[in-house]
Structure 1
C-alpha cells in the first residue's frame, strides 16, 4: 500500500525532472502541465541544490508514462533522454573512473544520496558480478517502470568504456511492457523478465575495462564532494559500505578478514575502524552476519547446494548459527526462503504462459 506521508519525506534531485522536460518537449507537450500535475513550483532554470519529494516523483513518472507514444516500451524512450550526468557528482565520478569496477563501486557507495527509494548491493558469483536492486518503498502503479529506470540507469556508462561488454544482462522481476526484443535492441544486451531478482549482471572480467574520460584529479574532486554531501545528509555510511564490500570479496575468495586485516586494507587502526563503524550505527560482527546472509541468499537462489555447505561458504560457524542469523534477517529459515522464492518464480512463469482473454483491454488515464 502506498503511503503518501512516507513518499513526501523522500528527497530526490530536481535534475530528474529534466528527463521529463526533454521527453515532453519532444512530444510537443506543455511543460507547465507537468509541473501543475506534480504540484511543483520551481524557478527556471532549476538550481542544482533544489529537490523534489517522492510523491512529486511518483506523479512525474505517471505523467511520463502517459505521454510516452505507443510503440516501443516506455523505458526505451525514457532512457534516451536520461544522461549519465543527471546524477550530478555521482555521474561525473563514474565517468572519470579509471575502470568500470571503480565506477561501479562509486555508484554503490554514493547511490543513497540520489536514490533513497532503492537499495543497491553487489554479489560476485561464478565469474559474474550481480548488482542487485531492492525496492524499499511502494510507488504504486509506477513501481515496475521506476524499477526499470533504476536498474538500467548504470548502463548509461557503456558509451564511456574503451571496449564493448559481452555477456551482460538485465533481470527484472516483472513482465515486459512491450516487445522484449525492443529492450534488447535499445541496450545491446539480454533482458530476463519474471526473474528472481531485479539486477544487472556483468562478467567479472569486464570490471577491468578502462574508461575513455578517466581523470584521477577530477575523480578525487568528485569523491571529496560526495563525501561532504554524505556528512551533510547524515545517515549515509560510506565506511560501512566499504567494509561490506571487502567482507563480500573475501567470502567470494573463500577468505576470512579479521579486524586487523580489514583495518590495514582501509589504512586505519583496528580501534579507529571499530569507532568509525560504530559511529555509523553498526558493528563488525553485525556487518559480517548481514554480508553472510546476503551472500547466502545468492547461493540459495542460484545453486542447489545443501544448507550446511552454504552456511560454511557464507562464513558462519555452522548450519545452526547460519539458520538463526538468516531467520533473524528474513523472517524465514533458509530452506523455507528457498522454497518460497522458487514457488514465486513458478507462479510468475505460469502467469506469463496463461493466455489473455480477448475481451481484456488496457487503459491509461491521460494526465491533465
Structure 2
C-alpha cells in the first residue's frame, strides 16, 4: 500500500506503438488485468503491478525495446549491451558519453547528447518528435537515464529541472511526480539538467550487480522511487504508513508535529509544491483503494472500512470521483 498509481494517459501512450503496428491491444490489457474501458476515462488510474504486466506483455509481443513507439525498433538486448559497454568507464560523465555514442549507432531512434555549460550539465534528446507516443518514449528515456545514472554511482542525482520541447499535456501534473523536479514545457529541446559535478562521480557497480539489475529492467528503472525529498512526499509517506495500521489518518497538526514544523508552515509549503493536505489524503486513499481492488480479494465493504470510510456509499462516491467507475466494476474488470 502507498505506492503511487499511474495515470491512464501513460497506458494509452505505451499502447500506441503496438496499436499503430496493427497489434490487437485488448488481449494485452486483459493479460495485465487492466479493464479496457478505463482507457476512455481521463480520470482512470492503474497500479504499478498492472503497468508492469502490460509493459512485459508489450515487450514480448513487439520484440522491441522501444515497444513500437519509435519509427525504428530497438532489438532486445540493445539496452543490456549499452549498460555493459558503459560499466567499464572511469566516471559517470564518460559512461553517459559512451551510452549516447552507443545509441547513435542505431539511426532512427532517440538522438542523445550530454551538454555541459559551466556548472550545469544537461542530458538531452535532440529529436523533434511530433507524435504523442514518440514524446512518451523520450520521457521514458529521460527517466531511465536518470535512474540508471543514479544506480551506477550509488547515489541519487538531484535534477535541477526537466524541460520538454512541446506544449503541456492535459496530465502535466504527473511530470513533477515522475521527475521529482521543476518542469518546463515549450522549451527549445527536451532534456534534464543537473549539477555538472556529478559527472566526476566514480561508478560503483560491478558485472554481477548489473546482471541482477538487468533482470528487472527496464520497468524497475521506470518505477519512480519515493525519494522523500519534498514536503509532499514526506507527508504522503506518513499518511500511507498510518493507513497500513489504522483507518484513521492523522490530522494536519499531527503530521506537522512529526515534521517539526507548525501547521501553518506545513500548509504553506504544500501550497508552494502545488498540493494540499486534503489532496494528499485523497491520493493516498485512492491509490490504496485501486491496489486493493486490483490485486486483492478483500470484500469491498471491508476495504472501505479499512480505508476510513464509515459507509459503503461514501466509498463508492469517492471512488467514482477518483476513477470514473464503481469499485465493483473496477474489480470485476481487473479480474480481482
TM-score over 0.5 (shorter chain): no
**Which structure carries more relative contact order (alpha carbon 8 Å, separation 6+)?**
2
Q: TM-score if structure 2 supplies the norm length?
A: 0.43
- Name the TM-score, length of structure 1 as normaliser: 0.40
